[in-house]
A and B are shown apart, each in its own frame.
Chain A
Amino acid sequence: MNLQDVLNASTLGSIYLLFALGMALVWGTMGILNFAHGSVFMFSAFVGYLITSRIPLPLPAVVLIAMVVGAVLTLAIQYFAYQPILKKIKSVNAAELQIVVAGIGLSVIPIALAEKETLSNNFGFQGSTFQTVVYQFGDLRISNIMIIILVLGLGLGFGTAWWIAKSRQGLGLRAVGIDPEVAALMGVDRRKMALATMAFAGALAGLAGALLTYYLTALNPHSGEGLILKAFAAIILGGLGSVLGVILGSFILAFAETAVFAYTSGTWVSAVSFGLILILLVVRPQGILGKKEVRRT
C-alpha cells in the first residue's frame, strides 16, 4: 500500500466511523439496534438535495440542515415506534427482535419517498456553493472534503469516546447501558436520556449523509443499505459497547478493503472483510475492545 492508499483508507474509515458512531451509541447504551439508521442517513442528504436544488447554500448550512433532519427523523422513530414497543414489552432484551423488525419496516418509507421523487436516480448537492478542491503534495492528492471528513470523523469519534468516559451525562448513559432499572433509581431520566441519545445519533447520521454526498458527488435512495452492513461489521469487529472499538473497527475494515483492492482483482473484497469478522468472532466473540461480560457501556 502506498501513501495515497493509506490516505484513501483513512478517509473511508472516517466515513464508516461517522456512519457507525450513532448506530453504535444507541445499540451499545440503549440496546436498540436501529436498522432505520441507513434510511435516516440517506433521507437527511436527500432533504439537503431538495433544498440546494432550489436555493444555493454553502456546505455548513447543508450539513446543519441534514443534521437537523436526521435528529428529527430519529426522534420521531423513537417516539412513535421504539418507545411504544418498549412500553409494551418491558425488557429491552425481549423487545430487541421487535425493534429490529420495526426498524427494517420503517427504513422502507424514506427510501420509497426518495425513489418516487428521483425515479431511483442518484442525487447530489450540485446547487451548493461548495466547490471541491484537490491539493497535490508530490504524488499525494487530497481534497478539501477529504480533510473535512478526516477531521470530523476522528474528532467526533474520539470526542464521543471522551464524553462517554468522562462527562456526567456519559456516566448516566453508561449506567443505563449496564442496568436501566438501577440507573433510574439513581435519578437518571431514562426517557430523556433515550431521546437525547437518539437525537445525537440521528444528527450524526445526517452529518455523515451530507459529507458523504459531497465526497462521493451523489448518493442514491439505497446508499444507506450497504453502509448498514459495514457499520454492523465495524461495531462487531471493534466490540459492542466501546466507542474506541467502533473507531478501531471502522479503520480496520477500511484498511482491509483498501488492501484487497491494492493487491488483488477486488473479487474478494467482501469475503476478506467479512471473513475477518468471522475469524474474530470465533477467536474473540466480544470484539477487539469489547468486554467479555456483555455490558452495554
Chain B
Amino acid sequence: MFGSSKRRLGVAAVGLSAALALAACSSGDSGDDAASEETAAEETAAEETAAEETTSEETSADEACELPSEVRLISVDSITGPAGFAGVVAENGAQIAVQEINDSGYLGDGVTMTIDVYDDATNPDQGTTEFAKALGEDVPLVFGSVTSGVAVAQAPLAEAEGKPVVFTQAGSPGVVIGDYTFRFTPPMSAYWPDVASYLAEQGVETASVLYANDFPTLIDVAEVSVPQVADEVGIEILSSTGIPTATEDFSAPINKIAQEDPDAVIMLLVGPANPTAMNQLRQAGLTDVVVVGNSGAGNGNLAPAGENGAGMLWPALFHPDQDRPALQEFVEKYQAEFGEIPSTYGPERYDAVYAVADAIKEACSVDPQEVRDALASITEAGYSGVMGDVTFENQDIRVPGILVQWNGEEELLIAE
C-alpha cells in the first residue's frame, strides 16, 4: 500500500536488491584466517563508514529535497456524458487520496497536492482540447480520461509532448503506447481467459455476442478476445452482432439471438444500455441462458432491470466485499465522504494518485521527465495497494480479476 501506514513492495524490493548486492560484494573467499579476520575487520570498518556516509547522504538528500509548496496536477476526465458515472467516482477516489496525502504531510512538511479536474464530457474532441491545454500547463503529470475513445486520442498527445499521463479504466488497445503513458486498469481483454474457463465449467457450449460497435474497448473484446478464448475452451460463437452505442431498442438483435438458442449470451454494452438489453432478453424468452457482461453493467447500472437483470455476471477488479484490510479501509472512507459504496473506478484512481505521489517523492522533483522515470521504476517493481498486489507489463497494470453477479437486488461477489 502507498500511504503512511502502507509499504510499497517495489521500494522494499529495490532496498532488498541493494542489500544483497552489498552482501555479495563484501563476502570474500580466502584461505588465510588471520588475513581473513583482518580483511573482515577492515571490511566491517569500511562498511560502517559507508553506512554512515549513506545515512548522512540520505539525510542530506532528504533535507535537500524541497518540493514546491503546492504540487499541482490536472485530470482530464469524463465528468459528464455517458461515462460520467465512472469519471465522477474516479475523481472521488482521487480526492480521498489527495486529502490523505495532504493531511499526513506525505510529500513533505508544508507540501500540498492539488488535482484540477477538466471535463472531457465523454467526447474525444473536447477530451483532446482540454488535454492539450493541460499538457501546456506547468504540471509534472496529467491524469487521462476513463473513456477509451477519449484516452486513445489523448495518449499520442502526451507522447509527443513528453509529459507522463496516467489512465485508469480506459481499457482498449492504443492507450499505453510509449514511455509516457501508464495505465492503472488492466485491459479488459485480460480477464476473458478466466471468464471463458468459467463458462466452460458451467457447461456452456454455444454463445452469441452482442456488442457496442463504436466503443474501442468493447470492440476489441468482442472481435478479438472472445473468439480467441472461446476457441481455446471449445465454445462455439453462433453470431456476433455489433450495434451503435446510441441504440435504444435492442429487440431486433435480441430476437435474432433468441432464434439461435445459445447456452450463453455475451453482452458487451456501455453501462446504461445493460438494463434495457437484459429486460428485452428476458422478454424475448431467454430466461435460462448464462449472460456475461462487462464492468459497465456494474456500479448499480442494472438496478432498473430489477429481477429481469438477475443472473448477469461480469469480470471486475473490485468488489466492496473483498477481504482486504486496505480495501475495507478505503470503502469506509469513501462511504463516509460520499455516502455510497464506491465502484471500481474509485479505488483504482486512489491507488494511481498514491503511485504518482510516490514518484514525485522519489524523484524529489516536479519535472515531468524525472517524475516519469520514477513512476516507471515504481511500476516496474510493482506494489501493494487498495486493489491488491499489482504488477505491470510495460507500464500497463495486471491485477487478478473477480466475477460479480447481479441477483435482482444487489451485486454479489461470486468468484475470486
Residues on A close to B: CB < 8 A? 2, 4-5, 8-9, 11-12, 15, 112, 115, 119-124, 126, 132, 134, 136, 141, 143, 212, 215-218, 220, 222-223, 225-227, 229, 257-258, 261-262, 265-267, 269-270
B225: interface (CB < 8 Å): no
Give every chain A residue within 8 A of B271 (Cβ-Cβ): 121-122
CA distance A265 to B210 in the complex (A): 9
B248 touches A212 (CB 8 A): yes
Once A120-B82, A222-B82, A269-B243 are accepted as A-B contacts, the answer to whether A4 and B248 lie under 8 Å apart by CB is: no
Give every chain B residue within 8 A of A220 (Cβ-Cβ): 82, 272
Residues on B close to A: CB < 8 A? 80-85, 88, 213, 239-244, 246-249, 251-253, 255-256, 259, 271-272, 275-276, 278-280, 283-285, 299-301, 303-306, 308
B82 touches A126 (CB 8 A): no
Give every chain B residue within 8 A of A141 (Cβ-Cβ): 283-285
A-B contact pairs, 19 of them (CB 8 A): A15-B248, A120-B81, A120-B88, A121-B271, A121-B301, A122-B275, A122-B301, A126-B306, A141-B283, A216-B249, A216-B280, A217-B308, A218-B276, A222-B81, A226-B244, A257-B252, A266-B213, A269-B243, A269-B247
CA distance A218 to B273 in the complex (A): 8
Chain A-chain B contacts (Cβ-Cβ < 8 Å), number: 112
B213 touches A267 (CB 8 A): yes
B83 touches A120 (CB 8 A): yes
A15 touches B249 (CB 8 A): yes
In whole Å, how far is B293's beta carbon from the nearest beta carbon of chain A? Answer: 14
Give every chain A residue within 8 A of B301 (Cβ-Cβ): 121-122
Give every chain B residue within 8 A of A143 (Cβ-Cβ): 283
Give every chain B residue within 8 A of A115 (Cβ-Cβ): 80-81, 84
A8 touches B255 (CB 8 A): yes
In whole Å, how far is A178's beta carbon from the nearest beta carbon of chain B? Answer: 35
Once A11-B251, A258-B252 are accepted as A-B contacts, the answer to whether A124 and B83 lie under 8 Å apart by CB is: no
In whole Å, how far is A120's beta carbon from the nearest beta carbon of chain B? Answer: 3
A134 touches B283 (CB 8 A): yes
Give every chain B residue within 8 A of A226 (Cβ-Cβ): 244, 246-248
Once A119-B84, A126-B303 are accepted as A-B contacts, the answer to whether A270 and B244 lie under 8 Å apart by CB is: yes
Apart from A8-B255, A262-B256, A266-B253: 15 A-B pairs, beta carbons within 8 A: A5-B255, A115-B80, A115-B81, A120-B84, A122-B301, A123-B304, A136-B285, A141-B283, A216-B276, A217-B276, A218-B304, A261-B241, A262-B252, A266-B213, A267-B242
Give every chain A residue within 8 A of B248 (Cβ-Cβ): 15, 212, 216, 223, 226-227
In whole Å, how far is A122's beta carbon from the nearest beta carbon of chain B? Answer: 4
Which residue of chain B is the closest to A258 with respect to CB atoms? Answer: B252
B308 touches A265 (CB 8 A): no
Q: Which of B83, B88, B242, B305 contacts A217 (CB 8 A)?
A: B305
CA distance A92 to B301 in the complex (A): 44
In whole Å, how far is B126's beta carbon from the nearest beta carbon of chain A? Answer: 13
CA distance A40 to B251 in the complex (A): 25
B251 touches A218 (CB 8 A): no
Give every chain A residue within 8 A of B80 (Cβ-Cβ): 112, 115, 120
Give every chain A residue within 8 A of B276 (Cβ-Cβ): 216-218
Give every chain B residue within 8 A of A217 (Cβ-Cβ): 275-276, 278-279, 304-305, 308
Give every chain A residue within 8 A of B85 (Cβ-Cβ): 119-121
Give every chain A residue within 8 A of B251 (Cβ-Cβ): 8, 11-12
In whole Å, how far is A267's beta carbon from the nearest beta carbon of chain B? Answer: 5
Give every chain A residue within 8 A of B272 (Cβ-Cβ): 121-122, 218, 220
Which residue of chain A is the closest to B309 with respect to CB atoms? Answer: A217
Give every chain A residue within 8 A of B253 (Cβ-Cβ): 261, 266
Give every chain A residue within 8 A of B305 (Cβ-Cβ): 217-218
Give every chain B residue within 8 A of A134 (Cβ-Cβ): 283
Give every chain A residue within 8 A of B279 (Cβ-Cβ): 132, 216-217
Once A132-B283, A212-B248, A269-B244 are accepted as A-B contacts, the answer to whether A4 and B304 lie under 8 Å apart by CB is: no
Which residue of chain B is the closest to A222 with respect to CB atoms? Answer: B82
Give every chain B residue within 8 A of A126 (Cβ-Cβ): 303-304, 306
B300 touches A121 (CB 8 A): yes
Give every chain A residue within 8 A of B300 (Cβ-Cβ): 121
In whole Å, how far is B187's beta carbon from the nearest beta carbon of chain A? Answer: 23
CA distance A265 to B256 in the complex (A): 10
In whole Å, how far is B246's beta carbon from the nearest beta carbon of chain A? Answer: 3
Give every chain A residue within 8 A of B280 (Cβ-Cβ): 216
Give every chain A residue within 8 A of B249 (Cβ-Cβ): 8, 11-12, 15, 215-216
In whole Å, how far is A116's beta carbon from the nearest beta carbon of chain B? Answer: 9
CA distance A5 to B242 in the complex (A): 17
CA distance A258 to B250 in the complex (A): 10
CA distance A223 to B246 in the complex (A): 8
Give every chain B residue within 8 A of A261 (Cβ-Cβ): 241, 243, 252-253, 256
CA distance A215 to B277 in the complex (A): 11
B252 touches A9 (CB 8 A): yes
- Name the residue in B84, B240, B300 with the highest tally of chain A Cβ atoms < 10 Å from its Cβ: B84
CA distance A211 to B254 in the complex (A): 20
Give every chain B residue within 8 A of A121 (Cβ-Cβ): 85, 271-272, 299-301
Once A216-B248, A265-B241 are accepted as A-B contacts, the answer to whether A124 and B304 lie under 8 Å apart by CB is: yes
Which residue of chain A is the closest to B122 with respect to CB atoms? Answer: A120
Give every chain A residue within 8 A of B252 (Cβ-Cβ): 5, 8-9, 12, 257-258, 261-262
